[in-house]
Amino acid sequence: MTTTVLPDEATIAQMVSNVSEVMFGVKFVRSDGLTRGESICGRMFRLHLQGVRDVNVIASSDRAGCQALASAFYSCPSHALTDTMLDNAISELLKMVALQIQNAMGIDKAPGSPRRATLADLATGGGEGWKDAVLLRSDGLGDLKLWVVDGRGLPTNSGAAQPPRGRLRGLLQRLLPHWP
């Protein structure tokens, strides 16, 4: 049986919060399994870390969460934000989180750039990594979630073909335990 090399959820939540509280005024806590699928189809970015064990970090948010994050990041009201500013704020958070995890896991290779992700990207992997995935949610900043997935869970490229319908259904059942 393979065990995860990821730090535990409380450790990752604290590492993320150490940075996000200073930069954005937001704290992250462990998320329960029932909320794993909420806002997953909203704005999503992912960053791949390559090491002895690959790790993928995914940020997912609804528009309100992105606006709150970008407002804090740019110190401006939400009505002044552009879609590019929303994307940049969530990408910056993702890079900071990935660097914390990279340091904690002793990964020497520089991380890639955050890339837009879709539900299809997540479904393509359908691997074992989702079993040990860590999910964090923001505490008081809309519906903002961070996923840390063992490299067994996602492909490394973003140009993968669309998954067969059965694999997507399997992913949804893992992400949303009460999904039919």
Domains of the chain: 9-174 (3.40.1550.10)
Quick: pLDDT tens for 52-87.
778 888 888 888 888 889 999 999 999 999 999 999
Dump strand ranges (E) for 94-133. 115-116
Tell me 41's DSSP state.
Answer: T
Question: Which tens digits make up the pLDDT trace of 8-33?
Answer: 888 888 988 988 888 888 888 887 65
Helix (H) or strand (E) holding 149: strand 144-150
Q: What pLDDT, on the 0 to 100 scale, is given for residue 35?
A: 52
Model pTM greater than 0.85? no
For 104-161, what is each residue's pLDDT tens digit?
888 888 888 899 887 777 766 555 666 677 888 888 777 788 888 876 555 554 444 3
The pLDDT, as a whole number, for residue 160 is 40
% helix, strand, coil for the chain, step of 5: 45, 20, 35
Nearest to 118 by CA among 74, 71, 167, 159: 159
